[in-house]
Structures are given as structure tokens and as C-alpha cells.
Amino acid sequence: MGGSAVTKQMLRRASLIGPALLFIGVFMLIPIGLMAYVSFLERGEYGGVVWHAYTGEAYSNFLFERDLDGSLLLNTDYLQIFSRSLGLATVTWGLTLLLGFPTALYMALQPERLRNLLIFLVTIPFWTNLLVRNYAWILLLRNNGLIDGTLSHLGVTNEPISLLYTPFAIGVGLMYSFLPFMVLPIYASLEKVDLRLVEAAFDLGANHLKALVRVIIPLARPGIMAGSILVLIPCLGAYVTPELLGGSKSMMIGNLIQTQFGAARNWPFGAALAFVLLAMVLITMMIYTMRSKRGPEPAS
């Protein structure tokens, strides 16, 4: 092949991939860069920013607040919101894994037609509106709602129990929102497992638990890792669930960011918070790619 043919091939590729890359570049990459820039600007008095006035205020805001006389005071409010977000994301991750892995394994061991139906059933909630899904939990969790009503009807409780507007409600909502994200990738990797390996484990005298721990789980590791990423990342940035199911005392990072563009009118601080969240996600992704490059650990 001559050099011109290679160049022609490259040009053809570039002209096909180019438009999509350009679109994402202009409307996503540049905005993210701009957001990082804005996080170092001074806030405008009535919202917006002051151009060419650089400050690290937005980042020091995170830990300190200015007293009336201008001295810095430690303020742990925002730190609490970050640690609450991390905590809720971790708990959600753990619970979706506990519930999702057995579900995926059960699905993978069914006959093909039932299997396809089950995948479809897991996919449906995944594609339904997030607001609608969280709203359904308001109906269930609120005072005199379905759960409370049933409990008092059965005589388990005497007075209304308030489940809504608590961190518990957020946890349930997040788990509900992201369970399919855990089940589907684990299922995808379990489906590829060669059952003869599991059979060999049984032949060699392994019981169910041993076969699970020593053979199946190691082989499903890529799916477990992918599912964990897919649950952790959106959980950290969740906005709708804490907004609808949590109270004002159980804000997460997403709500704090939104407030900066709404009532608080502190755009640089909002941009800085979003940038910190993005950094957390990218670090998680880097750890994930480095780990998954090593491949699954040997089962022995």
C-alpha cells in the first residue's frame, strides 16, 4: 500500500469520527475546562463571577469561613456533607453488591428463555424516569404512607413512624436507583463463566461455598468491578434522590452544588465543588483501570 492510500484511510476515519468528537469536545470538554477556570475566580456580588480577579477563595471556603473581622474559622459543614455522601455511596455499594450478586448468579443459571425475560425485567427500572422511581418511594415511605400504614394496621407500631426525609430513605432510594447497574455487569461476566470449571471444583470435593468463593467469584471479578464503578460514581453525584427523599439536614454533594447556583449564588464555589467531585470520580476510574488491567487473579 502506498503512503497516499494510508493517508486517505486516515482522512476517512477522521472525517467520520471527527464530528462526534468535536461535538463532545466543544459542549463538554471545553465547558469542564471553563468550570475549572471559574472555580479560581472571585464571586460576583449578585451571582456570576468577576473576570480576571483570581482567588483560591472557593477552595478555602470548603474548610474555612471568614469571620466578621476577616480571620479564618474552621467550618466542618461541607466536610460533613462530603463524608455523608461518601458514606451513603459506600453503604449503597455494599448493599447493592450483597443483593445484586446472588440475583445475577440466579439469573445466569436459568434456562435461556427465562434468562432473557429476567434481564429485560432488570432493564425496565434502569430506563424508567429517575424522578418517577424516587417519587414511588415517597408514596411508600411517608407518614401514613404504605409501609407506615401497613405496620400500624398490623399493630406493629402505634404512632406514625417517619421514614421519609432521613438518611435511611436516601439509602433506600439510591439502592433502588442503582441496583440494576450492579446486577447487569455481574450477570454479563457470570454468563461467560465456563460451568465445567465449577463442575470440576465439585468433582474435586468443593462444597457450594468453596466453589463460589474459589471459582465463581474470582471469574466474575471484572463484572463486580464494573458494577461497583457504575454504582459508586452516580451515587457520589446523586442529586434527585437526596433532594426528594432526604431532608434539609441530609444534603449530599449534588445538592450542595445545586444550591450554589440557586439560592446561595456562589458560582465559583459551586464550580470548585463540582471540580472536586469530578476529581474524586476520575481517581476512582484510574484505580479501576489500573486494577482491571492486571486481569482476574488466579483462583488458586
Partner 1 sequence: MSRLSRNPLMRFPGMAPVAGFAFAFLYMPIFVLIALSFNENRIATIWSGFSTHWYGVVLGNDDILHAAQNSIVVAVVAALTGTLLATIAALGMARGRFRGQTGATAVLVLPLIVPEIVTAVATLLFFVLIGFKLGLLTVMVAHTVFCIPFAYLPIRARLDGMDPALAEAAADLYANEWQAFRRVTLPLLWPGILSGGLLSFIISLDDFVLTYFVAGAGATTLPVYIFGMIRIGVTPEVNAVSALMLAVSILVVSLSWLIGRTQR
- The set of long-range contacts for 188-193, using a CB threshold of 8 Å and a minimum separation of 24, is 188/223, 189/219, 189/220, 189/221, 189/222, 189/223, 189/224, 189/226, 190/104, 190/105, 190/107, 190/108, 190/216, 190/219, 190/220, 190/223, 191/108, 193/108, 193/219, 193/220
User: For partner 1, which is the closer residue by CB, 51 or 72?
Assistant: 51
C-alpha cell at 12: 476517512
Beta bridge partners of 74: 64
The correct pick among 89, 170, 183, 226 for binding partner 1 (CB under 8 A) is 183
Determine the size of the site formed for partner 1 (CB under 8 A). 97
* Least spacing, CB of residue 127 vs partner 1, in Å: 5
User: For partner 1, which is the closer residue by CB, 67 or 249?
Assistant: 249
User: For partner 1, which is the closer residue by CB, 167 or 187?
Assistant: 187
Q: How far are the Cα atoms of 32, 206, 220, 270 from residue 209, in angstroms, in the given order?
A: 47, 8, 15, 48
* Least spacing, CB of residue 91 vs partner 1, in Å: 16
Q: Residue 232: is it exposed, middle or buried by C-beta count within 10 angstroms (0-12/13-18/19+)?
A: buried
Q: Which stretch binds partner 1 (CB under 8 A): 58-66, 86-94, 107-115, 292-300?
A: 107-115
Interacting residues with partner 1 between 108 and 127 (CB under 8 A): 108-111, 118, 120-125, 127
The correct pick among 61, 103, 189, 266 for binding partner 1 (CB under 8 A) is 103
Q: How far is CA 12 from the centre of its chain?
A: 37
* Least spacing, CB of residue 300 vs partner 1, in Å: 21
User: For partner 1, which is the closer residue by CB, 32 or 53?
Assistant: 32
Q: Which stretch binds partner 1 (CB under 8 A): 6-14, 54-62, 72-80, 150-158?
A: 6-14
Distance between CA atoms of residues 257 and 42, nearest Å: 17
Beta bridge partners of 88: none
* Least spacing, CB of residue 201 vs partner 1, in Å: 10
Q: Which helix (H) or strand (E) holds 242?
A: helix 240-245
> Is 196 among the residues that bind partner 1 (CB under 8 A)?
yes
Q: Which stretch binds partner 1 (CB under 8 A): 84-92, 129-137, 155-163, 217-225?
A: 129-137
Interacting residues with partner 1 between 237 and 296 (CB under 8 A): 237, 239-240, 244, 253-254, 257-258, 261, 267, 270-271, 274-275, 277-278, 281, 285
Q: What is the 3-state secondary structure (H, E, C) of 117-173?
A: HHHHHHHHHHHCCHHHHHHHHHHHHCCCCHHHHHHHHCCCCCCCCCCCCCHHHHHHH
C-alpha cell at 42: 472571585
Distance between CA atoms of residues 62 and 80, nearest Å: 11
Q: Which stretch binds partner 1 (CB under 8 A): 60-68, 69-77, 83-91, 103-111?
A: 103-111
Interacting residues with partner 1 between 7 and 66 (CB under 8 A): 10, 12-21, 23-25, 27-32, 34-35, 38, 48-49
Interacting residues with partner 1 between 61 and 100 (CB under 8 A): 99-100
The correct pick among 8, 66, 208, 210 for binding partner 1 (CB under 8 A) is 208
SS3 category, 294: coil
* Least spacing, CB of residue 89 vs partner 1, in Å: 11
